[in-house]
Structure 1
């Protein structure tokens, strides 16, 4: 009896595994041959699912930035944002390194039009809008990314009380 494969699920699995490779080695550090070898596939099998490295990266971005199948965030909107920020902290440095590697040489217009960047931005905005509503979502996203960058640049000095106070201040504008 032939093996039945859920191609969509397998494609998602490959994208999730490739996302780890991109995070570890960067965008420019990987070619399709190297990715295929690391995933235990032939290069042609990888091309069957993803016609280009950029298409694979787009799928990885969708997987990496999609809301997870974790229990829903609970508590106040500020508590939910703090939980999201805390969760993002661990992989933030490698994610930013990957993003900057990927966009190197692109113009701001090219970045804004890039499907992977649009996908990531849309997923982050949707997640935050689900917590805060649309009125303050962009300001909250700016605070969140800024706080993560400051944490990164300061060697992990995470001023939780100050971040919480800023979230609360912006959220109060939404009331």
Structure 2
């Protein structure tokens, strides 16, 4: 009788061990699925942020170019204005790259990566009028605002990145307003 009871206890313990292993495996599988889903979600967000960063870099380069090449009666005021704008864009790019690092990913950081991930087209500045330069920069800021809004609307943004993007959006909106104010 005792042997039967011992055998049943051993079977019961083995079954509990199997159930425990199965439960642990099920939990691990579930956690990995959640982690993979989160990783995919995180990667999609980082891809969007890198796209915005690449466009900010192109806009920065255009602004610097126009700072160097603006001519005409408004030269001095636009030269200083473009300088203030490219300095602000540099700060925005730096914080965007840092936000991507906070998300434990790498920001685009080479010219090749920037070029392959941007949608703002470079324009030589040396033959453009001041108003054409301003309109071109305004179009760049508007494109970045659209990309930021699309990212916010995607529903795939953590609260820290949401706050960061709202602040970045406001900076581009302010720069757009300032550019519009310089148009004749």
What TM-score bracket applies, with the shorter chain setting the length? under 0.3
Instruction: Give the structure with higher Rg (CA).
Output: 2
Higher helix share goes to which structure? 2
Q: TM-score, normalised by structure 1?
A: 0.26
TM-score scaled by structure 2?
Answer: 0.25
